[in-house]
Structure 1
Amino acid sequence: MRTIASFIFVLLVLFSTSVLSQNQNICLNSLGFLPQASKKASIIGETKSFVIKQADSQTVVFQGKVSTPVFQKDVNQNVGLADFSSFSKNGKYYLETPEGTKSVVFEISPNVYNQAFYTSMRGFYLWRCGTAVEGNHDGHLFSHLPCHLDDGYEDFQGKPDQRRNGTGGWHDAGDYGKYVVNAGITVGMMFMAWDQFQNNLKKFSLDLPETAPEFPDFLKELKWETDWLLTMQYTDGSGKVSHKLTRKNFEPFCKPEEDKEKRYFTDWSSAAVADFVAMMAQASRYFEPYDKAYSQKCLDAATLSYKFLKENPEDKVFVQGEFQTGGYQTEDKDDRLWAAAEMWETTGNAEYLKDFERRASSENFKIDEDWDWGDVSNLGMFEYALSAKAGKNPEILKIIKKNIIDVANQIAFNASSDVYGRPLSRYYWGCNGTIARQVLNLQVAHKISPKKIYTQTSQDAISHIFGRNYYNRSFVTGLGINPPMNPHDRRSGSDNEIQPWPGYIVGGGHSAKGWKDVQEDYSTNEIAINWQGALVYALAGFVGK
């Protein structure tokens, strides 16, 4: 597979090693910095000072001291800090030490994150299933033909060999399956990005095909997914929602259009039903200004499935059975909590508010510092805390807001205590996505109690993802310094292009030094919509107008 391309890639790596070596001891956000933001670089080893030089003229524009190096056990390094936050002039620069070591060239600009946001958000368009996609990045073409047009069959819903329409949506990760639970956290975060940052996003062009006339591009992409989600609701009027739509086993590395194996609507799970309710309630209110009939369709679907949840209070976890594709098996208490919050926010119905407050109380109003698809209660807690609707219990609101602030403070402390500004203190499958997702905690806290430390730590998280880390590499394909070249992604692994499909954050190592940029290493180098949605949210808050 891609023998010639792999050979050329090896030559490129050998050629670039000498170029990158000059930067290996200076780790910073290779995308650059907003003018008024904090600007930090982690410098490995002993050096006492640094200068910032203009990239073209090599003129010194800033001088500073490097803090005394701190030894951090997990990376086994002594690392000092260069802080040039007070320098804010727009331009392109590099950092240099007295020993002659130079950083990668970086930019200071109000629009420094715009290209990364564009590329990362378009990653969802390039993930589209059931249609042809095409995009250019840095002179490289990425495309596939219409795929999975037979989605899907109802054998596991008692209708052998019968097909109903389940086309559309996004491929989930490095595989081509489609999963409601993982869509939940993804769509939930992205709708929150729209809610909080829409003033900057409304006119942001993503160069998308006209699949939702009159919709802003950001919402246009979300509608592609909600169109598919609506097909996952059973057609019998029960309100049940299939857990996933996949083949029985993971497909081999092939182009999407070459995957011809039969794909099925699976049995329902209560977590999938609850996540569906939450997403449809969000879709109803955010799409309402652009398509009232579609908004009502989403709300009707959400109401039906909420009614089913109420009548069926037991936790029904999905059972894989004959399937060996992604499980996404999870208890439903957090999903039901989130569903109630979104239904209340959309309708104002006191029944939903009562349901949320009861469930939040049973969870002791907990806010998670470290979270992903397996526990989406934060989405419900955040919605409640930020809602402008009347009727909330003042004591419950006070406790939830306090817990949000306390967790944000802990995240900020973690980042300030790490030599690379990493706000997450653990390592595991998909931890890079969690680092991006913690920006949601910080931004919500900032809305409740504005503090500079929350936006600074948010930008530290982004900096870590784009180069201020142990590897001095970007974790996002096609963006930043020395980005991943071999993600676990069937499209990247089956085309004739040397470069991987662009804009995707990879999962990250299970230890401080455990990441491998190896295609087969899915546990550290896969891509996935839940991590991608977190990256999009993190960048959305800092997009320039």
Structure 2
Amino acid sequence: MKKYLILSAIFFLNTITPAAQNGAVHLNSLGFLPQLKKTATITKVCSEFNLIDETGKIVFSGKTTGPEYQKDVDQNVWHADFSSFTKPGEYMLKVPGVGQSVRFKIADDIFNFAAQASMRAFYLWRCGMAVDGDFNGIHYHQNACHLQDGFENYISKKGTQRDGTGGWHDAGDYGKYVVNAGVSLGVLFMAWDHFQAKIEKINLNIPETAPGLPDFLKELKWETDWVLKMQYPEGSGKVSHKLTRTNFSAFIMPDKDKEKRYFTEWSSAATADFVAIMAMASRYFQPYDTEYAKKCLDAAWVSYRFLLKNTEHKRFEQGDFQTGGYQTNDVDDRLWAAAEMWETTGDPSCLKDFENRAAEMDFKIEENWDWGSVSNLGMFTYALSKRKEKNADTEQSIKSNIIANADALVKKAGVDVYSRPLGGRYYWGCNGTVARQTVNLQVANKIQQKKEYIETALSAVDHIFGNNFYNRSYVTGLGIDPPMHPHDRRSGADNIDEPWPGYIVGGGHSATDWVDKQESYSHNEIAINWQAALVYAMMGFVN
């Protein structure tokens, strides 16, 4: 049997011991790029530091700065900056009287493995087919699941069944939700747009489910194929909000989840997100599969025209369902839909729709955004578009706000002791937002190149992989003392100690309350929207 996920442990990446959590030298445990910033945060009194190579020789020395006190972590910290040292190799940071860091590398390709693992995690999330993968000497497997998706009882066709198989499981549960698929695919398509040349170098080694497509798009098509199935079949343009059972399953493997799953009633937010996804899919699949690109765009037009005729917000009512709600107003979703339709087709009515909606939102760029606030995706698409018909004032307003937003993120990261671009804001899934802020920064850098934007995006990656209060990685299987007990039904049901690899967990609700416990879904769940943000963040730094 062919094993599609073959990941070899790279030197220290997956072998850091839990004892490292108590260390006082916190840094990105994956390592550093030669020409960009390299810093560590030290939580004990110190005045100097030494960089030690693998032979034990001191190759660089420096003075620390500090102390700097931050209330939310209740710590005085000192900082070590060794950015000027650029020689590739394997090192550790020793701080006299304090201790030492984990070993790390300086190399041009230091983030390639983690980028690969974080993207391959989507393959491991696939619903409707058997999945196999090897990671760090462990074999992971799930049987084909949810092959009866789904029933149409809740869209006035009681007892009838229609094909809703495929897609990705949404999070730690096995549901499938269009609104969360929206922001996830939106960010992933944007990663392809921004970093295609880099991404194409990474071999994901996934099944040939879409021959002829690059691996990255092959994986996105698995989800896009499912989203297409969520459009009502009678041609109205309505899109079901989700496909789930009425309540969450126990911690069982997905093929053991035999309870009926249903297409739900439509919502306007899900329908608008469907439009945006399909317009993007048409654009990015066009060079490889013109027939599929047309299918996506035709479906987008049907739902877009439906939204133009049905302007009221249609909320999804949970009713019998206790699975994820993903309730959201549709103003931002409609704006995003208009932007992607215009960018794909050049249609002037779509352009007018977007520009009117952007003006109503005062051209705002969100610092803190996710599935419930996707207007940034539309604003970014418009700002970076090469089409000539844009209103000059609208374009300038949006670009100015993108730059101002990025400058604010640079400032926040600059005053946070752990260089966190989100600053002192914490909530369910905030690690995903930290990763997603790299989109803001990379888009700003495309408009106005500035090293601070790239290095602040790198600060987000540093934070995720160890430069944080806990001196721990937030990504399963990668970096220093990674999460061992994510809220993930596969990891809890497969009788393997190590969790499924490559997934970012949500994080704390304050600077110091994150817990690595399976039952704590609000702190330690995994989810496709956070994962997409991690993939984007990592793909910006592969080589």
Secondary structure of the residue that 1:135 maps to in structure 2? strand
Alpha-carbon separation, structure 1, partners of 2:499 and 2:56: 33
Secondary structure (helix, strand or coil) at the match of 1:69 reads: strand
Alignment check: 8 A CA contact 1:45 1:77 kept? no
Residue of structure 1 equivalent to 2:11: none
Deviations 1:174-203 (A, max 9, x none): 000000000000000000000010011124
Q: Do 2:45 and 2:98's aligned partners in 1 also have CA atoms closer than 8 Å?
A: no
User: Paired residue for 1:439?
Assistant: 438
**Equivalent residues in 2 for 1:198-209, closer than 5 Å:** 198-209=196-207
Q: What whole-Å deviation, never above 9, does each CA across 1:12-42 have from its counterpart, x for those lacking one?
A: xxx945x426x61000000101110100000
Q: 1:16 to 1:455 in 2, by over 3 A?
A: closer
Q: Is the 8 A contact 1:253 1:493 kept in 2?
A: yes
- Separation in 2 of the partners of 1:367 and 1:203? 32
Contiguous gaps of at least 5 residues in structure 2:
1-15
- Asked if the contact 1:203/1:216 (under 8 Å) is kept, the reply is no
Instruction: Work out the CA distance in 2 between the residues paired with 1:202 and 1:477.
Output: 24
Cα distance in 2 for partners of 1:229, 1:235 equals 12
Q: Deviations over 1:288-345 (max 9, x none)?
A: 1111000000000000000000010000011000000000010000000000000000
Matched residues in 1 for 2:172 and 2:146: separation?
15
Q: CA RMSD in A?
A: 0.9
Residues 438-457 of structure 1, C-alpha deviations (whole Å, 9 max, x = no match): 00000000000100000000
**Structure 2 equivalent of residue 183 of structure 1:** 181
For residues 351 and 384 of structure 1, the distance between their equivalents in structure 2, rounded to whole angstroms, comes to 14
Task: Answer whether contact 2:46 2:98 (CA < 8 A) is retained.
Answer: no
Matches within 5 A, 1:298-447: 298-425=296-423, 426-447=425-446
What TM-score, normalized to structure 2?
Answer: 0.96
**1:506 aligns to what?**
505
Deviation string for 1:386-408 (max 9, x for gaps)? 00001100001111001001110
2:343 and 2:304 map into 1 onto residues whose CA distance is 14
* 2-structure distance, mates of 1:201, 1:416: 29
2:79 aligned counterpart, secondary structure: strand
Matched, 1:52 2:51: yes
On the 8 A contact 2:44/2:98 being kept in 1, the answer is no
Q: For 1:335, what is the secondary structure of its paired residue? A: helix
Partner of 1:20: 20
Deviation at 1:170, TM superposition (A): 0.1
Q: 2 CA distance for matches of 1:428 and 1:234?
A: 35
Q: Return structure 1 stretches of 4+ with deviation > 3 angstroms.
A: none
Percent identity between matched residues is: 62
Amino acid at match of 2:264: T
Q: Which residue of 1 aligns with 2:455?
A: 456
Q: 1:99 aligns with which of 88, 93, 97?
A: 97
Q: Is the Cα–Cα contact under 8 Å of residues 186 and 534 in structure 1 kept in the other structure?
A: yes
Query: Aligned partners of 1:137, 1:411: CA distance in 2, in Å?
Result: 35
The answer (yes or no) to whether the contact 2:24–2:98 under 8 Å persists in 1 is no
Question: Hey, what's the Cα distance between the residues in 2 that align with 1:119 and 1:226?
Answer: 21
2:517 matched to 1:518? yes
Q: How does 1:208-287 map to 2 (within 5 A)?
A: 208-287=206-285
Q: Distance in 2 between matches of 1:154 and 1:73?
A: 52
Report if aligned partners of 1:45, 1:69 keep a CA contact under 8 Å in 2: no
Alignment size in residue pairs: 527
Which residue matches 1:160?
A: 158
State the Cα distance separating 1:69 from its structure 2 match. Answer: 1.1
Q: Distance in 1 between matches of 2:128 and 2:390?
A: 43
Residue in structure 2 matched with residue 482 of structure 1 by the alignment:
481
Q: Which amino acid aligns with 1:94?
A: M
Secondary structure of the 1:493 match is helix
Measured in 1, the distance between the counterparts of 2:282 and 2:479 equals 36
1:45, distance to aligned residue in structure 2 (A): 1.9
Structure 1 equivalent of residue 540 of structure 2: 541
- Pick from 120, 129, 132 the counterpart of residue 130 of structure 2: 132
> How far apart, in 2, do the equivalents of 1:430 and 1:20 lie?
24
1:100 & 1:405 partners in 2: Cα distance?
A: 40
* Matching residue of 1:115: 113
Shift of 1:165: 0.2
1:176 alignment partner AA: Y
* Structure 2 residue identity aligned to 1:122: R
Query: Alpha-carbon deviation of 1:496?
Result: 1.3
Q: Which residue of 1 aligns with 2:3?
A: none
**Distance across 2 between alignment mates of 1:401 and 1:412:** 17
Q: Distance in 2 between matches of 1:116 and 1:16?
A: 18
Q: Which residue of 2 aligns with 1:194?
A: 192
SS of 1:61's equivalent in the other structure is strand
8 A Cα contact 2:145 2:254, kept in partner: yes
Measure, in 2, the Cα distance between the counterparts of 1:96 and 1:386.
Answer: 44
Map Cα deviations across residues 35-88 of structure 1 (whole Å, 9 max, x no partner). 10100000012100001001x201111101100210111001000110000011
| Shift of residue 204, structure 1, vs aligned partner | 1.7
* Maintained 8 Å contact 1:253/1:494: yes
**Runs (5+) with no aligned partner, structure 1:** 1-14
Deviations 1:402-450 (A, max 9, x none): 1001110111111010111111020000000000000000000000010
Give a deviation string over 1:118-142, Cα, whole Å, max 9, x none: 1000000000000000111111111
Give the secondary-structure state (helix, strand or coil) at the position aligned to 2:317: coil
CA distance in 1, matches of 2:362, 2:452: 27
Q: Which amino acid aligns with 1:165?
A: D
Partner in structure 1 of residue 139 of structure 2 = 141
Please report the TM-score for the alignment, with normalisation by the length of structure 1.
Answer: 0.96
In structure 2, distance between residues paired with 1:448 and 1:467: 30
